[in-house]
Chain A
């Protein structure tokens, strides 16, 4: 182990959260080191327009994702089972390299609603404590919409997010999302233009009395220069978006919006292909002293630092805390400890519509172009007597139609042979689907812990996921998907498949990369790991930032909130912590 000279700040992970915080703290004049376990990635070379349109490489072979050989998770549905490793990614796609999962994300950039940040209080006030199902362990975030809003704004301005405001400073705007919290500013770029399927859906939804809006999207709709002076180009709807890197500098990521500015700062250094092994603490356990990491030659290094920011993906944030012995590991039997608790996911539902004589040109698309409604999301509808809470974002977002993965087939079609081929040809251009990306509410037995049997190449335990869908969420999925089917019927397809989430969580089919919780934020150190500044309880010079901080997951994509939390942590460090290092209680 070789010891490097001490730095002011070490940041673990150079995806969205880590890059944002590193940049903010470098602006403060601090010496900042960023450590990234994957390679340096660069749009011009890695997402070259001549080679990026490659479904086999980027989707089937998961080129941009973390290699499971380097690090994976084990999974089981309940504590009585033995967890086994996910040898290939399926259900979700963790990223790797600079930009992280923010390179291959879809770009959908919702803000969570004001009620989400005090979900437990809100539901208790509206429905009474006894209405909340016993299996759920919902929590407030310990922060408020008012505290979060300026940081959502910061993130959207950096990302160039396109959309139409539905609530600008309390004034409702037609054509925007009427359920969003009051925004202090409009979207930085106007909404994207729409392909056919989303407009058909929006017409049907409007006829039923709903209020469709363009899905907020960090794929910019026109040339845009962000506050760091980094310029992006308009989305071309190429349809190689989710799971791919963007060759047009249209999809916001740390690579396209933050790192070009950050890398110019002489007080910032990035270490790539270097994996952090542990966050070090002093003998009191109340002060982080730096990190150890291993580089690709197998050499171990110690990087001492005054301030340690952990900003990896949800899983690695939690695993690093467990491996470093920070906080007490959560135990579902005794209901004690906080590290690993409140792990949640996203409940994916879908309705597929097969038409005759329509041509959707489904290859024209993008990860975040489309129309949605929010009438059945979160607590936007009355849950009295329904027996569940939560809901989902209902929307049509054609992401592209590369045909290894996109092969829409009606039920009972053979999987090969001439009949299969004819049926595929007949349906390829004339099929669309409506998704419902729904909430995932936390339970006592859904949690993250260290696996007792499986190790990574450095001999450290893999992270173990214990997760199954809450009964609450399965009831919600049924209800919301039926609402989707009602809209679909109005669209008059020849045939449709209605597919609410049912049964056990499976690690095999892709559902969503929105894994959240495990190192959650809150106002009470007995039930949370970080305070509202993302500062670890009892270790005030350590911050853990990311979707790991969500106490549960609403029916929205998480990245906007991850970005806002990163800006919030950076803001609070700059404004309060650096002036008076220590626990930020009064702030």
Chain B
């Protein structure tokens, strides 16, 4: 093998980026194009790769009626009590709405090619439905069931009645027409917990309510002074990404 003279590859419409222009390419990293990179790493001050968030007001995915059903559900999954506000006030429904509006809602990143078939438990979720479809169909199936059994919407049931139905869904003891009640329950439970415990930047966990409840300090990044302070309450006030963002924007 011979040692070659240093040449740039003879590319045609491929772009050979130098590091001074990489910052530009990087800002569109969600749809990053193939590039050839040559040369020493550079860095653009204040460049970052921010989280997917939506500043708009109002519901972005849910209809008002759907939102009411989800708000009622998250308020039973995480009820208001001495420890925290309820799931609705904590922003869990807003969180789910934003997630469904964003890339998660369509499983944009996931393998969704067929053939779809039911597998073993070990083979995991094989549903052809993406989260937007799961919520739209699930909420409709739930309200249809409540209409048929008690002539009401889910939101009109008393909290103990709502709990009873949710327990039955969780245990697989109730069946909706058109949608699997248990898997809908688990979908909502899973996303509600995400909303309650995720960084407030996504619309849930308002005022870091769950972190304050648990004693989780959130987005802090340096515990070198604390690692050997064993078995001690360190009284940290939590910090969120949202606070950092707010500072940037002020």
Contact = CB atoms under 8 A, between A and B. Distances in A.
Interface of A: 2, 4-5, 7-8, 29-31, 33, 39-40, 42, 44-46, 48-51, 53-57, 60-62, 67-69, 72, 75-77, 81-82, 84-88, 90, 193-196, 199, 234, 236-240, 247-248, 259-260, 263-264, 266-274, 295-297, 306-307, 358-361, 363-364, 401-404, 407, 415-418, 421-422, 424-425, 428-429, 453-455, 504-508, 578, 581
Contacts of A360: 231
B189 A404 contact: no
B29 interface: yes
Main secondary structure of the interface of B (DSSP, over half): loop
Nearest to A48: B48
A51 B241 contact: yes
B8 to A, nearest CB: 8
A297 B33 CA distance: 7
A199 B241 CA distance: 32
Interface of B: 1-4, 6-12, 14, 22, 26, 29, 32-41, 43-44, 47-52, 76-79, 81, 83-84, 104, 107-113, 115, 117, 119-126, 163, 166, 170, 189, 192-194, 197-199, 201-202, 210-211, 213-224, 226-234, 241, 244-245, 248
Given A69-B110, A85-B111, A306-B1, A49 B221 contact: yes
Contacts of A77: 120, 122
B58 to A, nearest CB: 22
Given A237-B222, A274-B34, A361-B234, 15 more contacts: A31-B3, A31-B4, A51-B48, A51-B51, A55-B197, A56-B194, A57-B52, A87-B125, A194-B228, A238-B221, A266-B6, A267-B6, A270-B36, A404-B198, A454-B113
Given A48-B49, A56-B198, A416-B77, A272 B241 contact: no
Contact of B215 (A45, A76, A429): A429
Contacts of B112: 69, 87
B122 A403 contact: no
Contacts of A240: 221
B220 A259 contact: no
A422 B83 contact: yes
Contacts of A237: 222-224, 226-227
Main secondary structure of the interface of A (DSSP, over half): loop
Given A196-B231, A424-B214, A415 B81 contact: no
A361 B43 CA distance: 35
Contacts of A264: 39-41
A296 B32 contact: yes
Contacts of B29: 39, 46
Nearest to B221: A238
A406 to B, nearest CB: 9
A214 to B, nearest CB: 13
Nearest to B214: A428
B23 to A, nearest CB: 8
B43 A42 contact: yes
B74 to A, nearest CB: 10
